[in-house]
Structure 1
Amino acid sequence: MDRAQSAPATAGERPLPDRGFPSAAARAGRVNGLDGLRTLAVALVLVYHVRPDLLPGGSVAVDVFFTISGFVITRLLLAEYARTGRIHLRGFYRRRWLRLVPALLAVCAVCAALSLTSLWAFDGAWAAAGLAALFVVNVVRAGEAGPYSDLTAPLAHSWSLGVEEQFYLLWPPVLLFLLRRWRARTVLLCTAVLCALPVLWRYALWHPGAAHRLYNGTDTRADQLLAGALVAVVLARLRAGDPRLEALRRWAGRLAWPALALLVLTAWQVPVTAGLGGWTGVWYTVGFLAVAALSATLVAGIELRPDALLSRLLSLSPLAWVGRNLSYGMYLWHYPVVRLLASLGVADGRLSATVVLTTVLALLSYAVVEAPLLRRGRPAPRPGAPATVRTAPAGGGVLRK
């Protein structure tokens, strides 16, 4: 039978429904190691935008962000479906709005205000602010041939937010359709097929003038998000004690360090956005999928081996706290800060100044904008509702909400 059955409950416990995803409900909490990985990724992006000579391929960290996002979002959606048999799309979009939009609007407002000053880096920033607020910077950049225009500066980095938000708009209803129509095993196969389609689409679109289209398009970057989604579906399908899970845990633990090493090596040595000569076409077609595979391997290793050295290092409290609470704000603010310092003529110590100012602004964003709205948007527990008994996660370890 394709749909896995729920594990029998022990005395006094109420068994959780699983609907073919026996580990889904137990995998709905946070993984500190992934939060630490976010911190590492945002640090790479920040250095890349300030000192591209040090990390010419630092933009690969955005690819890692995509895979983490696809994994986390899909895991939450599957957990809700396993518990309730449905996905409350309105609630999902409301939570995403509260998490992403207010902090982005604050950055857009500041950039628009700076466009009224004499700072050259913010000339016309009001237009960029409008495009960023609508999550369409990636669409504008995808349609530009040759060097990027100044239309989206100083919020050009928000192209990745456009990709993620457009993915968030499309993937939950697609996943819900698959879950309602087919068995869990077929949902897994469909996710794998969807993950492979973008690379074929990139092959069809590729020519030297299409680099911006491939780099910024949601359809051409979807495999990096869907790679994370695929990991979430696979892990939700495997219950604790399944031999396949044990094999996956073993290999993910072995390959996590090599995957991280290859990603860091790419950031250090590969000028991803500067052109790779004859290798450019390979990178913009197969290369994106290869990075997605490395990122997915790393995510799986952190999820399945919380006791491993890599997971413990990334779970260190400072790294996990920054990744959980500040990484989004740091990503939002760092690029406007880079342009602000350039406008002010700051050359010596620009990297350290960017780190300090970005961190301060991210802290302000978290304390004043993000945390209060998230607390307000958190649903209150229903009076008298019975507590849900959660089984141990198949990957081992304790996951926190």
Structure 2
Amino acid sequence: MTSTTPTAARTAPATGGSAPPPQGHPPRPDIQGLRAVAVGLVVLSHAGVAQVGGGYVGVDVFFVISGFLITSLLLRELATTGRVSLRSFYARRALRLLPASSLVIAVTLVGAWLFLSKARLAEYAGDALAGALYTLNFRLAAAGTDYLAQNGPPSPFQHVWSLAVEEQFYLVWPVLLLLTWRIARGRRGPVVVPLAALCALSFAAGVVVTDRSAPWAYFGSPARFWELGAGALLALAAERLRRLPAALAAALGWLGLVCVTVAALRYDDQTPFPGHHALLPVAGAVLVLAGGCVPTSYGAGLLLERRPLVRLGGLSYGWYLWHWPLLVTAPAALGRADGTAELPLALALSAVALALAWATLRLVENPVRF
């Protein structure tokens, strides 16, 4: 996407985003606050706020959070039962993700049929199906979609690519974790080795492919796995991190926020991404999560645990899902010839998307889950 319009897109989480926190294990308040920062950067960037042209790095922050939370959940299960129920794991993922995403995909497809190009309806339907099957990232990469381009309106489903990357990672990681845990007989040290190797290969692939094929680098899960893996490695080290001195933990958290902020403010649509540039926001997210392992009264939690941010973090999944289809579809529905929204309208649509996220949580997600 560009930093000025939502018509060409570096879109994020869900993620996510961008997936929501694991059911039954609410994250630390500071993590909810970090999710709010991540989704806020993504939304503002898509709305066309030029000052946060690198807001797409919110995706990378979501990936790290997801890897940390899901791996923490799996480690708790392993420590308690000595095993991981893959059937239960994937059932929980489906129960948490599918109600909201299925609703948004269905409503977006209707909106595309009513207001967007009829010539592209088959393409949109294919995107919707790929989004529902968590394969949209490969479809976009194969089509050569350029999130930096401005030569055509993007798909209203384009943002779902990040959810696909997450679910593809979780097809591999729980099985790998379970196997290595058994081989290592419950020792975390040996478990780190295969994951660290996977992260190193993934990062190297991201750097190389960014120069050779930007769409495959941006959308392809092999070039993105290391970001989720970074969060997973952090979860494996969480016990040791809890023994950090409070002053050091606080410094790490604030430094992490600075890294994410600098990336969001300094990166733009000309930054080759992900490549090595993704290191800055990923490292920032890792530092924030690491610092938060030691609660202090003067750490980054001083900001991230504020009630508005914590509440916004709880709505981040739904906000992520709704904001992009509105930014793409609503201008056409309002009769704008160029199909784009100027900043005031884009911000208003983003606010509407937040309201829809709240309604979806109350009326769809929670009733299905509970």
1:301-357 alpha-carbon deviations (Å, 9 max, x no partner): 123235334213211223212212x11000000001111232123536213312321
Report the AA paired with residue 189 of structure 2. R
> SS state of the match for residue 304, structure 1?
coil
1:322-361 to 2 correspondences below 5 Å = 322-324=312-314, 326-343=315-332, 344=334, 345=336, 347=342, 349-361=344-356
Q: Does 1:298 align with 2:288?
A: yes
Q: Does 1:212 align with 2:190?
A: no
Q: Output the CA distance in 2 between the equivalents of 1:109 and 1:284.
A: 30
* Aligned CA distance change for structure 1 residues 363 and 255 (closer, same or farther; 3 Å): same
* Aligned CA distance change for structure 1 residues 118 and 231 (closer, same or farther; 3 Å): closer
Whether contact under 8 Å (1:131, 1:137) holds in the other structure is: yes
Whether contact under 8 Å (2:253, 2:299) holds in the other structure is: no
Q: Output the CA distance in 1 between the equivalents of 2:352 and 2:95.
A: 24
1:170-198 alpha-carbon deviations (Å, 9 max, x no partner): 11111111111113211123333322221
Q: Does 1:85 align with 2:82?
A: yes
Q: Output the CA distance in 1 between the equivalents of 2:53 and 2:89.
A: 36
1:185 aligned to which of 186, 189, 195: 189
Where in structure 2 are there 5+ consecutive unaligned residues? 1-24
> SS state of the match for residue 114, structure 2?
coil
1:201: Cα distance to partner?
2.4
* Aligned CA distance change for structure 1 residues 206 and 112 (closer, same or farther; 3 Å): closer
Q: Does 1:172 align with 2:171?
A: no
Q: Output the CA distance in 2 between the equivalents of 1:72 and 1:153.
A: 30
Whether contact under 8 Å (2:146, 2:215) holds in the other structure is: no
- TM-score, normalisation: structure 2: 0.83
* Aligned CA distance change for structure 1 residues 258 and 120 (closer, same or farther; 3 Å): same
Q: Residue in 2 aligned with 1:285?
A: 275
Q: Does 1:265 align with 2:262?
A: yes
* Aligned CA distance change for structure 1 residues 303 and 121 (closer, same or farther; 3 Å): farther
Q: Output the CA distance in 2 between the equivalents of 1:255 and 1:169.
A: 31
* Aligned CA distance change for structure 1 residues 121 and 230 (closer, same or farther; 3 Å): farther
* Identity %, equivalent residues: 35
Whether contact under 8 Å (2:136, 2:164) holds in the other structure is: yes
Q: Residue in 2 aligned with 1:137?
A: 136
Q: Does 1:37 align with 2:39?
A: no
* Aligned CA distance change for structure 1 residues 348 and 318 (closer, same or farther; 3 Å): closer
Q: Output the CA distance in 1 between the equivalents of 2:343 and 2:285.
A: 34
2:58 aligned to which of 58, 61, 72: 61
1:138: Cα distance to partner?
0.7
Report the AA paired with residue 179 of structure 2. F
* Aligned CA distance change for structure 1 residues 249 and 217 (closer, same or farther; 3 Å): farther
Where in structure 1 are there 5+ consecutive unaligned residues? 1-27, 239-243, 376-401
Report the AA paired with residue 318 of structure 1. P
Instruction: Judge which range, 121-130 or 72-81, deviates more.
Output: 121-130
Whether contact under 8 Å (1:38, 1:323) holds in the other structure is: yes
Q: Output the CA distance in 2 between the equivalents of 1:235 and 1:246.
A: 9
Q: Output the CA distance in 2 between the equivalents of 1:292 and 1:336.
A: 26
Q: Which entry has the higher C-alpha Rg, 1 or 2? A: 1
1:177-229 alpha-carbon deviations (Å, 9 max, x no partner): 11111132111233333222212223444534x11111111111111101110
> SS state of the match for residue 155, structure 2?
coil
* Aligned CA distance change for structure 1 residues 197 and 117 (closer, same or farther; 3 Å): same
Q: Residue in 2 aligned with 1:371?
A: 366
2:205 aligned to which of 201, 204, 213: 201
Report the AA paired with residue 135 of structure 1. Y
Cα RMSD of the aligned pairs, angstroms, is: 2.4
* Aligned CA distance change for structure 1 residues 340 and 151 (closer, same or farther; 3 Å): closer
Instruction: Judge which range, 177-186 or 148-157, deviates more.
Output: 148-157
Q: Residue in 2 aligned with 1:162?
A: 164
Q: Output the CA distance in 1 between the equivalents of 2:355 and 2:145.
A: 36
Q: Residue in 2 aligned with 1:254?
A: 251
- TM-score, normalisation: structure 1: 0.77
> SS state of the match for residue 246, structure 1?
coil
> SS state of the match for residue 51, structure 2?
coil
* Aligned CA distance change for structure 1 residues 202 and 41 (closer, same or farther; 3 Å): closer
Q: Output the CA distance in 2 between the equivalents of 1:306 and 1:320.
A: 17
Whether contact under 8 Å (2:38, 2:62) holds in the other structure is: yes
Q: Residue in 2 aligned with 1:126?
A: 125
Q: Output the CA distance in 2 between the equivalents of 1:61 and 1:308.
A: 24
Q: Output the CA distance in 2 between the equivalents of 1:247 and 1:122.
A: 58
- What is the number of equivalent residue pairs in this alignment? 334
Q: Output the CA distance in 2 between the equivalents of 1:138 and 1:145.
A: 11
